[in-house]
Chain A
Amino acid sequence: GEDVEQSLFLSVREGDSSVINCTYTDSSSTYLYWYKQEPGAGLQLLTYIFSNMDMKQDQRLTVLLNKKDKHLSLRIADTQTGDSAIYFCAESGGATNKLIFGTGTLLAVQP
């Protein structure tokens, strides 16, 4: 069945780059998403990538997609303390808004 996996925790120092990784199993995935969740809040859409793309850059965020290995990564440049949150990777088949989410990666930014 469909499955999305992420590492549980990442700790970085302020100013460094963060790389959060995700693997998925559904080869028919059309869209792959990154969401951010702060304590007590909903999900904030950070960025998404269409499956026929290899890379997408949006200000401090860079998404890399390796479709052959079904691997997705999110790089945050110049990580700030305000980036501390849980980051979720998700995939969808495109014809529906049914997203399959990963378990989330807790990013802790040390000052």
Chain B
Amino acid sequence: KAGVTQTPRYLIKTRGQQVTLSCSPISGHRSVSWYQQTPGQGLQFLFEYFSETQRNKGNFPGRFSGRQFSNSRSEMNVSTLELGDSALYLCASSFPTGVGPNTGELFFGEGSRLTVL
């Protein structure tokens, strides 16, 4: 069974540009969540999607957005990049909590490492 797949794995952008990151969840998983990892702030929750709807959002500016498609794949977008957006962006998938078999298992991908110059 394939794991959570994130693309691209590495990318370099300049300030002011925008970036789109992609996440394909484990087959059968319908809930996708995104996290940002930086040395200074650690791991922080960005947002969570289920059935193409955003269920929860972390404390990030509006430049950070996301969406989920009907096949459960998800993308996140960061516009007007700042130096501080340099981070490892991690996607996680699971069965939806509260619906169906809730095992509590939340699996992460390898991440997309974004460097903003």
Contacts and interface: CB of A to CB of B under 8 A. Distances in A.
B20 interface: no
A59 interface: no
B14 interface: no
Nearest to A93: B97
Given A95-B98, A97-B92, A98-B48, A41 B110 contact: yes
B11 interface: no
A99 interface: yes
B64 interface: no
B43 interface: yes
Given A43-B90, A104-B42, A96 B106 contact: no
Interface residues of A, number: 25
B33 A98 contact: yes
Contacts, number: 63
Contacts of A95: 97-98
Given A42-B109, A45-B107, A98 B58 contact: yes
Contacts of A103: 42
Interface string B71-115: 000000000000000000010101001100010111111110000
A98 B58 CA distance: 8
A94 B92 CA distance: 15
Interface residues of B, number: 27
A87 interface: no
B24 interface: no
Contact of B55 (A42, A50, A96, A101): A96
25 contacts: A31-B104, A33-B106, A35-B108, A41-B110, A42-B109, A42-B111, A43-B92, A43-B108, A45-B106, A45-B108, A48-B104, A48-B105, A50-B104, A96-B48, A97-B56, A98-B48, A98-B58, A99-B35, A99-B45, A100-B45, A101-B35, A101-B42, A101-B43, A101-B44, A102-B42
Interface of A: 30-31, 33, 35, 41-45, 48, 50, 88, 90, 92, 94-104
